[in-house]
Structure 1
Amino acid sequence: MSVHRQAQRISVPQLMACKGERKIAALTAYSAPFARLLDDALDFILIGDSTAMVGYGLPDTLSFTVEQMAAHAAAVVRSTSHACVIADMPFGSYQESPAQAFNNAARILAASGADGVKLEGGEVMAETTRFLVERGIPVLAHVGLMPQYVNTMGGFKAQGMTDESAQRILRDARAHQEAGAFGVVLEGVAERLGREITETLTIPTIGIGASPACDGQILVTEDILGLSGSRIPKFARQFADVGAVIKTAVEQYASEVRDGQFPGLENCFGVKKT
C-alpha cells in the first residue's frame, strides 16, 4: 500500500483560487540563500531567465540555457518548503515546436522538482501552452513586454500603448487562458490594459509594471533590495538598501583582517581555553 505525503507547498490550483480572493505576492530567486529568506513570505518564487542579467552580468536573457535553469531551479526547490516554484523556459528551448517545449520543460521539472514553467509569447504560443498543460505541465504565460523578444521589440519598451497593440495583447492573454494556462504575467504594459485584462480573465494576472489591479505582483528581488546598482526600474520600488549593509560589512571585515583583528584565537581550532 502506498503512503501519500501531504504537500505543504502552495500548489498551482491554490494560486488559481486566489483570483478575486486575495493578492498573490511573488519574487525571483536563483540561489539557496535568497530562496530560504523569501520562502515563508511569498506565494510563488520564479527562477527567472533574468538570472542571466542579475546573476551573470549578461546584457540580456537570450543566452541562458536549459541546464543552467534546471540547476538554479533545483537549488531553489531544495531550499524552500512553502512557496510554489515556477521556472522560466529559456530562449530557444520551446519556440520551435510543442514537442521541443515538452521535452525541455520535462527536463527542467524532473531535474529540479519545480511546480511549473513560465513561457513568453503571444497568441502564436497558445498551442504550446495547450500541449504542455494537456501533458501535465502547469504553464504560467507571459505577455506584453517580453525580454526574450528584445530584438524584435527594439529594446525594453512599454507595450499596449496604442489601441491596436492593446487589443493584440488582450487577445494573447485570452488565447493562453483558453489553452489552459494557470495565470498570465503582464509585463510593462499600459495601466489601463493591465486593468482590462485582469477584469476580463478568469485566471490570475501577475503584474510587473502593469497595474495595481492585477491579481498579483512580481519583481526581481535584487531591484527591491538595492542590489541592482543605481538604476531602479520605474515599475519597481527599493524596499531596503541591503547593498549598503553588505558593503559596510565587507569593508569592516577587510579592515580587521589588515589590522590583525581577525581572526582571533576564538576563531581557531586546537586552542585551549585558559
Structure 2
Amino acid sequence: MSTAKKEYKRVTVKSLVDMKKNGEKISMLTAYDYSMAKIVDAANVDVILVGDSASNVMAGHETTLPITLDQMIYHASSVIRAVNRALVVVDIPFGSYQSDPKEALRSAIRIMKESGAHAVKVEGGQEIKESVKRILNAGIPVMGHLGLTPQSIYKFGTYTVRAKEEEEAHKLIEDAKLLEKMGCFAIVLEKIPAKLAKEVAESVSIPIIGIGAGNGVDGQVLVIHDLLGITQEFNPRFLRRYLNLYEEMGNAISKYVDDVKTRDFPSDEEQY
C-alpha cells in the first residue's frame, strides 16, 4: 500500500477516505479558540476537533457533561475563523441529541449554520441510530465515537479501558459497521485494546481515528492541552507530551512579575 503523502489545500471528508485508501495516517487535534486553532492549522493538522473536552480544559469541569450547545457554538465559531486547511469537526454536547432525533437535527443544524463548522461528532452506536440518521439525511457529515464515550461516564463509572470482554467488543464492531452503513465518514475509537481497534479499522472502509487505541488504526487524536503539557494532572498511558508549557509559561510569567516589581520592565527602549 502506498504511503505517499498528498498535499491537500483544504481537507474534506473525502480527503480522509482517500488518506485511508492511500495508507496515509490522519492527524487530528483539538482546538477551542482562534489563536490556538491558527497555530494548529498552520502546522498542517488534518482535522481539528472542537471537542466537548472544552468543558474540562477551558472551563474546569470534572466531566464533559456541563458544556452547553451555545458554548460549543461559541468555541467552534472562534476556531473556524482561524482555519484555512483543516476539516473542523464539532462535538454535539451531552443532552442535545441522544433521546430525540428531532432535537439532534436542530442541534446539528445550529452548529453548522451558526459556527460554519464542516461536520459534527456524536458518541454511541445502535442506541443513537435514529438521531444519526436524521442528521445525515439533512446532508450534515457525521463522525462517530465508540469505546470509552466520556458523555456516558456516569454509566460506566470509570475511565478504564473499554471492550476488553468479548460481548462488548462484538457490540463495538457491530456499531462501527452500523455507523459506516448509515453514512458516517469516520469514527473515533477511544481507550480500547489495540488488537480490537485494528480489527475495526480493517473491517470498515471509513477512517478509524484512535485515542488510546494503538497504532493499527488510520489516524490519531489528542487534546492539544495534553500534548503541549499545559495540563499536568492527566497522565494516561496513551498520552505523549511534546512540550511542558505549564512549566515554561509559569517561568515566563514569574520573570515578568519580577521585572515589573524590580522596575526592569518597561525599559527605556520599551517606552514612548
* TM-score where L is the length of structure 2: 0.93
Q: Does 1:218 align with 2:203?
A: no
- Give the whole-Å Cα distance in 2 for the aligned partners of 1:238 and 1:213: 21
- Give the whole-Å Cα distance in 2 for the aligned partners of 1:191 and 1:66: 33
1:112 to 107, 111, 115: 115
Q: How does 1:8-19 map to 2 (within 5 A)?
A: 8-19=9-20
Could you list the runs of 5+ residues in structure 2 that have no partner in the other structure? Answer: 1-7
* AA at the equivalent of 2:34: A
1:158 to 161, 173, 181: 161
Whether contact under 8 Å (1:9, 1:84) holds in the other structure is yes
1:105-148 Cα offsets, whole Å, 9 max, x none, are 11011111110000001212123222211211100000110000
* AA at the equivalent of 2:15: Q
In structure 1, the residue matched to 2:41 is 39
In structure 2, the residue matched to 1:27 is 29
Whether contact under 8 Å (2:123, 2:145) holds in the other structure is yes
In structure 1, the residue matched to 2:242 is 239
Whether contact under 8 Å (1:74, 1:114) holds in the other structure is yes
SS state at 1:140 partner? strand
Whether contact under 8 Å (2:97, 2:103) holds in the other structure is yes
1:178-209 Cα offsets, whole Å, 9 max, x none, are 11100010001111110100000110000001
> May I ask how many residue pairs the two structures share in their alignment?
263
- Give the whole-Å Cα distance in 1 for the aligned partners of 2:9 and 2:67: 31
1:134-191 Cα offsets, whole Å, 9 max, x none, are 2111000001100000011112121110111100111111111111100010001111
SS state at 1:207 partner? strand
Whether contact under 8 Å (1:77, 1:114) holds in the other structure is yes
Q: How does 1:101-250 map to 2 (within 5 A)?
A: 101-250=104-253
RMSD of aligned alpha carbons: 1.3
* AA at the equivalent of 1:12: V
170-179 or 229-238: bigger deviation: 229-238
SS state at 1:67 partner? helix
Aligned-residue offset at 1:8: 4.6
Aligned-residue offset at 1:20: 2.9
* AA at the equivalent of 1:20: K
In structure 2, the residue matched to 1:75 is 78
In structure 2, the residue matched to 1:3 is none
Q: Does 1:66 align with 2:57?
A: no
SS state at 1:64 partner? coil
Larger Rg over CA atoms: 1
- Give the whole-Å Cα distance in 2 for the aligned partners of 1:106 and 1:8: 26
Whether contact under 8 Å (1:127, 1:179) holds in the other structure is no
* TM-score where L is the length of structure 1: 0.93
1:209-244 Cα offsets, whole Å, 9 max, x none, are 112011010011111111111432211101111222
- Give the whole-Å Cα distance in 2 for the aligned partners of 1:71 and 1:254: 32
SS state at 1:60 partner? coil
* AA at the equivalent of 2:214: S
1:48 to 47, 51, 58: 51
Whether contact under 8 Å (2:99, 2:128) holds in the other structure is no
* AA at the equivalent of 2:18: A
